Amino acid sequence: MNKDTLPKELLIALMDHLQDAVFAIRDGHFIFVNKQLTTLFGYPEDELLNRPITDFIYDADREMVMERYRARQRGEKVTSVYDFRINTGDGEVRSVRMRAGILRHANQVISVGSLQDITDRIDTMSALAESRADIQSILNNMPDVFYRTDMNGTITLISPSCEEALGYTAEEMQGQPMARFYCNPEDRVRVLDELRDNDGKAHQVEACMQHRNGSQRWISTNAYIRFGADHQPIGVEGIARDITKIKEREERLAELGRIDELTGLLNRRSFLEGAENQLQIAHRYGRELSVIMIDLDWFKSINDRYGHEAGDQALVYFADACREVFRKTDILGRMGGEEFAILVPETGRTPAREMVNRLQQRLKEQPFRYHEHEIPFTLSAGLASLDSKKQTLSNLLSLADKLLYEAKRQGRDQVVTQTQPDPQTETA
């Protein structure tokens, strides 16, 4: 034996200490296997040697493996590394990765190579892919918006539902600062303050977001700070719910609490609140202010003759006429029934009376029509103006109401204006 040639026993011992399963194949039969291969296949060595390799290849992979084996035998260029499945002695199907080559010796072509068991790796990757698919499915189908940002507020992940909520796709939002999508930067700061003040958690914090089409959307978000393996904060994760419709309903309910449902003017309570604020401003800055009380003449006859629907439409008609004549800064209210009150800020008796006269003219020029009926009606009004810092809103309304009834006593269809300070307010 050549002194530089290793003994066969030593080569076999070396093969048995390799981590990979090693083999040699001639004419499609195993002629050498190491211990790792017998362990992988689950057969003793004597049950593997001289048996066709096709006995151990999984049915669905057999043709692919053998075609590559034959091509390699013919000297064709074939990939030397690929994966397939084997049948083991205990009935399992295992996935292996093979590295194969050709050894030509004594006019014989021998395939040599190694196998690695990659079953656990594939199972892990498959489970991971399935887990990712499950997570993606949840994100794709959840109605709320799931999001993640880094500690700089940059969006790193966001669910596709963001497009329905804000009009931007997830791809468009990722990589963008979250603050860009808030109506006011202060809203974003408010969420961060909530996280800071509540041990890294924010619960149902409401904020206004800017939709792609320019509209505003309201969201309610639950969020928490995420920490890394070193227990250092790495970002914020949360779920945001679009509550725009809820906010709109709340606003409508609040508006209904302020507005007379029939005419759309302020109801009595809201009129008094707005009028009181204007009176305080007038007192503070020494400005003029007038109050007008109006009652529709012979209104009951409309209900009696044409029905309550005609009466309701007449009230709507009158409210629309008031909105045409008076300014947006004036406060218009329905006090009840066919009685209305109007506060005109920064306006004295004469210009205020001119406004009422224009309203009377509007009613005459464009009379109320109900179906084929033209139903003209008139108004009686009392007008009181602010004369003293001692005057309260109650004083002014009471005085205007007295003047209104004076207008009715004098025959209706007229305006009675305060000509001098009310004695009650002067002695108050």
Residue 338 annotated in active site: yes
Distance CA 88, CA 343 (A): 95
With tokens 């690695």, the residue in question is: 116
Distance CA 150, CA 235 (A): 4
152 φ, ψ to 5°? -90, 0
CA 241 to chain centre: 5
Q: What is the DSSP string of 65-120?
A: HHHHHHHHHTT----SEEEEEEE-TTS-EEEEEEEEEEEEETTEEEEEEEEEE-HH
Tokens of 174: 């990722």
Residue 45: how many other CB atoms lie within 10 Å = 14
Give me the catalytic one of 9, 63, 338, 406. 338
Q: Among 334, 257, 343, 256, which Cα is nearest to 299's?
A: 334
Distance CA 419, CA 91 (A): 111
CB 279 within 8 A of CB 289: yes
Q: Among 173, 250, 175, which Cα is nearest to 218's?
A: 250
Residue 82's DSSP bridge partners are 98
Distance CA 99, CA 300 (A): 102
CA 10 to chain centre: 71
Residues 200-219: b if buried by 16+ CB within 10 A, e if exposed? eebeebebebbeeeeeebbb
CB 386 within 8 A of CB 288: yes
Tokens of 238: 């949360």
Mind telling me the catalytic residues? 338
